[in-house]
Amino acid sequence: MRVVVAATVLAAFCLSIPTPAQATELTTKVFAATLEPGFTEFELRYGRIVGDEATGEDGLLFEAAHHFSSRFYGGIELETSREPGGDRKIAAFGAEGIVTLGKVAGVNVAMLGEYAANLHTSDAIETRLLVEKRADEFNVRLNLNAEKILEHGEPLEFSYAASVDRELAEDFRLGLMGIGELGTSKHLTARGEHFLGPVAKYEVEHLPRGELELEAGYLLPLGEARHDTDGLVRLMVEYGIRF
């Protein structure tokens, strides 16, 4: 019960904090390439820039999704953002789906597709290649993303999200997470903005009919991101239930 109260307080805290045009990047998740049939999840993801000129930019995303089978997952999401000193705004509504492709050379592989209806910019579509490897207490994930703004002449934009973590105690994992830009279809480059830092995860499995997962991390800026920020604070609260 105390854990549920803590999660509620955390969600309220995120809503009350002063957020960015880049809500999607700030709330990016490293998706798994495996699904749990019959599992429904409700998720809140929050990212906030700290330090330098971009201090106070943040993104807050709400998502609800269902694992219809071991092969297909479907979800809807709502993104909000706020610039420093501004009001929180709804940035986009989205729908996404994941199709698992099985194992390739011992590695789980899946594809994600998403459509985002943006309120202040053009709509966008995105695909992600999801790769995951589990070995003993370790879990390694890599998401390779390609996004297309639905505007004539706009190139594909490439990015990535990756993580590796290890179970150190029952229901507690510690690891590293990285996100960053890989350029566009007109100019591939690794010299864009990147973030890398520690992430801690804690899971509570024995709640009535469900389970709760908490994740927190602080990612340090690399590349061009060093010019605008001192880091990125990330929080995630996920409640899952089986009907």
For residues 229 and 19, the model is more confident at: 229
Q: Does 6 have pLDDT greater than 50?
A: no
SS3 label, residue 190 = coil
Q: What is the pLDDT of residues 127-181, one digit of tens each?
A: 999 999 999 899 999 999 999 999 999 999 999 999 999 999 999 999 999 999 9
Per DSSP, the three-state class of 57 is: coil
Q: pTM, whole model, 2 decimals?
A: 0.86
pLDDT average, residue stretch 97-113: 97
| Chain centre distance of CA 118 | 18
pLDDT over 60 at 54, yes or no: no
CATH level 2 (architecture), domain 2-242: Beta Barrel (2.40)
- The pLDDT, as a whole number, for residue 67 is 97
Give the model's pLDDT for residue 108. 98
Other C-beta atoms within 10 Å of 38: how many? 13
Q: What is the mean pLDDT of the chain?
A: 88
Cα-trace Rg, the chain: 17
pLDDT score recorded for residue 154:
93
Hey, where are the domains in the chain? 2-242
Residues 183-224 have pLDDT tens digits of 999 999 988 999 999 999 999 987 877 899 999 999 999 998
Cα(230)–Cα(53) distance, rounded to whole angstroms?
A: 9
Take residue 107 and report the two structure tokens written for it. 């590695």
Confidence band of 238 (pLDDT split at 50, 70, 90): very high
